[in-house]
Structure 1
């Protein structure tokens, strides 16, 4: 099948009112497809779901160890954080240790998603800084690698040594030659691949050994950092954080803009990648939670699971009017 299939349905009354179509792939550690919905060969931009791949050169180059990076910092390098104090204070400390500051970042500024941090800025009539950007941890990783490589300040340039190292890592773990790249919201290039390629890369992370090659050991350090610090990977009330905490075994999860999602299941040697084609985040969150339930690592009755799948839709008076539920194919 090459067409997108229903992954998530929004019910109102006795029937679906809206349907989110998409593609999803589950791969084993050898890169083979275990199960798929829609078109595994669909070419996609994984957006922020690729951050653990983008962080590989930070570790394999020796930069992470040379600068004494902690698991918390490695988790931030893979994060799309909410801009809460636990995120921004760590990023500021990281930059200070490099002798750098906010102006050295190239991710741009936006208001934090964290409610308290957002309120504090608005009430003080202060503008956000680049550390509030959800990608500031990734960019701190880029700056650390750049310091190690001795590159120039424009580390987001596709021709820069930092991005050349990222592209090489991306093509190695997806086992594909990237056909093109797009510029992400944080201004860094984002390589394209097939959905199968992304699931294959996540399965490679899942199957990597901490006694294996340099790049395998790096992969293990990164997913372990994510699992150890789910609050830094996203933030309170966010799907990545909620679902990582809820899983019955270590699972690394990462969302990406425009309704992308990945999962790394190390104990099962499985990787998951999915894309909801309308870009609807609620559709992707329901779909990834449903696949985790399907794989037996998330209890369908866990409050976090119920928050994203089979979740009630209520109106402004608190009356339940419908439900967000997985489509039959992945239910």
Structure 2
């Protein structure tokens, strides 16, 4: 594991009960570095935080817009209305649900397991559709890193991040995930704001903010952040959190122990310090994000960012 810094602690009645180590990078809208902690140039796996970059890469050829862009970038909880959006997109793109290579999933909102309820269903629908248009695939599955589409996606991540990917791994949904760096990811995702010149990525960000319920789900952290603060937010498994302020200031956090809870408060606190979010933004959402520590009905502590 790359070198890290202590980025947040959990306090209870003033006692530090636990702490989170991690790597953090914040960049300005022009990509210049505003703050770092830990080895921001070390390779890491952004996991599902790569989805908006993937969606931007294939959006034009598939005619993706609006809710389709949002769910293609999302990690859904599997509500019935989310499955309906995924099903409609699959039908429009001519993708049979049985052809998807993500595992079927059953949730409390639907009656039977279906691949269209998978956390990465939106991504898999657009990958399957885009792969069908690829030439010289030689019978490769769309999740094979050697598939022309996957080579293109990897190159797109490298181009937007400015970092050559040094490793490929298999994500939980069976699709490839490409190593980048925390600083490179921060520079890549700043385009999700409406202020940049990356039109494809800006369209993805707008779709995510317009329909945040398709990026995760009502009451879930990324959806709450976008609804309450107007940011663009996307988590990745094993402790990655991306948050982009409306002006394009971007923070990427990688929590070393893989826990999710420290990512958002650290990112929001840094964006407040940079003036990219109003003071009090973290306080406004920490209850909904589950960051407050309770003793009965009383609040006795919280997850406190240290940067």
- Whether these two folds match at TM > 0.5 is yes
Please report the RMSD computed on the Cα atoms of aligned residues, expressed in angstroms. Answer: 2.2
Distance 1:14 1:271, change over 3 A: closer
- 8 Å CA contact 1:167–1:191 kept in 2: the answer is yes
Aligned twin of 1:198: 185
Q: Is structure 2 residue 167 aligned with structure 1 residue 189?
A: no
TM-aligned CA distance change 1:145 to 1:223, over 3 Å:
same
* Pair 1:290 & 2:269 matched: yes
1:287-315 deviation per Cα after TM superposition (whole angstroms, max 9, x unaligned): 23333443442533754244338x43236
TM-score (ref. length: structure 1): 0.84
Structure 2: distance between partners of 1:220 and 1:280: 29
Whether the 8 Å contact between 1:243 and 1:305 is mirrored in structure 2 is: no
User: Cα offset for 1:32?
Assistant: 2.1
Which runs of no fewer than 5 residues in structure 1 stay unpaired?
Answer: 210-215
SS at match of 1:281: coil
- TM-score, structure 2 length as denominator? 0.90
Does 2:72 match 1:77?
Answer: yes
CA change 1:300–1:266 in 2 (3 A) is: closer
SS of residue matched to 1:82: coil
Which of these residues, 229, 233, 245, is aligned with residue 265 of structure 1?
Answer: 245
Change (3 A) 1:301 1:199: closer
Provide the aligned length of Structure 1 versus Structure 2. Answer: 301
Partner of 2:219: 237
C-alpha distance in 1, partners of 2:123/2:268?
Answer: 25
Residues 239, 259 of structure 2: 8 Å contact kept? yes
Residue aligning to 2:36: 36
How far did residue 197 of structure 1 move? 0.8
Shift, 1:233, TM fit: 0.7
Structure 2 residue runs of 5 or longer lacking an equivalent are none
Q: Partner residue of 2:196?
A: 208
2:289 is aligned, of 294, 308, 317, to: 308
Structure 2 CA distance for partners of 1:32 and 1:293, relative to 1, 3 Å = closer
SS at match of 1:307: coil
